[in-house]
Amino acid sequence: MFQSKIDTPPRRTAPAAAVRAAAAARAPWSAGTRRDTLFLAAGLPFGLPCVIVIGLPSAALLFGLALLTVLFDLQSTAQRSRVRALRGVEVPGRIPPDAPWLVRLRAGLTWRQAVHHLLVAPLQMLCAGLALGLWGAAVVLTGFFGWVWLLPPGYPLRSGPGWVAEGALATLGGLLLLAATPWLVALLAAVDLWTVRALLGPNRAEVLERRVEHLARSRVDVVDAADAERRRIERDLHDGAQQRLVSLAMNLGLARRTLKHLPPEAMEVIVAAHEEAQAAVKELHDLVRGLHPAVLEDRGLDAALSGIAARSPVPVHLTVDLPGRIAPTVEAVAYFTVSEALANAAKHSRASRVDLLLHRVADRLRITITDDGVGGADADRGTGLTGLRKRAASVDGSFAITSPRGGPTTITMELPCEL
């Protein structure tokens, strides 16, 4: 027992002593730290020649590539303008024309631009010179007799033997050139146009990317237009037909209360008309609220969802954590999506509670709907869930559902959130 008490302290203090020794060896003021720092500093001169040899050509190469990019971009723009002005063909560029120069520079060169400006353009220049030379030769040869007669009478071309036959052959050659040169020029122009479109226009991937962007913008415009049309119809019905029905119901109610002396048959007609008018007012009110609820436009998504939660036959625990209003179209999609999801839960899930959470995650509005029902919901079979997915996709949103047998069912949607 006594021996164990003596042996225990060294075993307990040995690791601590090693840690203290290592810390002392790596302290900023220690000799080991000074020696290591001096060793690294001494290696700096040995690296400078390599940096100079590699760095300067690299900088010159980068500057040259930047200058070449700007030059090729200007040439490409000029080529497209030539094709547009002289052939009526629009050749879109890889980069939008209103893009800043820094964006153009960052886009860099492509092998197609390099092939066109370094190889095809010089060949096209030679072909253009050939075409102009052929036109000149055709004009000169065809008008041989005309300009020869302008020469002095003793000039060799007019006095040599057989000059008339030679002139006739020259004129015939000029006529042949006049007939053949347009075909050659048309071929060269077609090849020129094809090379500009093939090498300076966007490739297939860029065309598809622009098409996707255009379709995405068109879809957003269609969704916005549909939402605006729903709001217009809601206002027209609320301010027009609904007000007229309300006035009619009030007049029939007034007649029902005041005209006590009418025959029973006439009173029955008034009572029936009053009840039908009240039912029509209620149906129209529900229709207007289904098109676009006024509270959504006036007070925002939080107040509109509070009204849905209050009317739901299943108790709904609502949590909305948004810093402000979002885009009206996204608000409308979120409102109708939640409304349809709560209606599905009340109809099919046999749930006793629904938790509804809306909050912003980065630039997305996340909607989470969880119920404690029987589960087993399948988005591939249920038309209601398919409608939810389509509503989310209409604004480039996502939809996911988890619903095992026995529950719970969780629906998660993310919509673009533009505050």
CA distance 321 to 316: 16
Q: Which residues pair with 356 in a beta bridge?
A: 318, 369
Alpha-helical (H) ranges within 237-313 are 242-258, 264-291, 294-299, 301-311
Give yes or no for residue 286 having a pLDDT over 80: no
Percent of the chain with pLDDT over 70: 68
> Which range has the worst mean pLDDT, 11-25, 191-205, 242-256, 288-302?
11-25
Determine the average pLDDT of the residues in 349-373: 88
Sheet holding 316-321, edge to edge: 316-321, 354-361, 364-371, 409-416, 398-402
Give yes or no for residue 195 having a pLDDT over 50: yes
CA distance 95 to 209: 12
- The angle formed by the CA atoms of residues 394, 398 and 399, to the nearest 5 degrees, is 105
Specify the CATH superfamily of domain 293-416.
Histidine kinase-like ATPase, C-terminal domain (3.30.565.10)
Confidence bin at 8 (pLDDT 50/70/90)? very low
CA distance 287 to 293: 9
Confidence bin at 355 (pLDDT 50/70/90)? very high
CA distance 211 to 317: 43
Report the chain's terminal Cα–Cα distance, integer Å. Answer: 76
**Residue 375 and residue 403 in contact, taking contact as beta carbons nearer than 8 Å:** yes
CA distance 99 to 92: 13
Q: Which residues pair with 355 in a beta bridge?
A: 317, 370
| pLDDT in the model for residue 47 | 46
Determine the average pLDDT of the residues in 155-163: 66
Give yes or no for residue 66 having a pLDDT over 80: no
The Cβ of residue 80 has, within 10 Å, a number of other Cβ atoms equal to: 20
- Of residues 318 and 59, more confidently modeled: 318
Confidence bin at 357 (pLDDT 50/70/90)? very high
- Residue 349's closest CA among 395, 299, 314, 321? 314
**Residue 382 and residue 358 in contact, taking contact as beta carbons nearer than 8 Å:** no
Determine the average pLDDT of the residues in 233-253: 75
Confidence bin at 172 (pLDDT 50/70/90)? very high
Q: Which helix (H) or strand (E) holds 415?
A: strand 409-416
Determine the average pLDDT of the residues in 60-69: 65
Question: 300's torsion region: left (phi>0), alpha (psi -120 to 50) or beta?
Answer: left
Determine the average pLDDT of the residues in 101-119: 69
Determine the average pLDDT of the residues in 164-173: 84
**Residue 203 and residue 128 in contact, taking contact as beta carbons nearer than 8 Å:** no
Give yes or no for residue 324 having a pLDDT over 70: yes
Mean pLDDT in the chain? 76
CA distance 231 to 288: 9
Give yes or no for residue 242 having a pLDDT over 60: yes
pLDDT, tens digit, 9 for 90 and up, residues 40-51: 555 545 444 544
Confidence bin at 13 (pLDDT 50/70/90)? very low
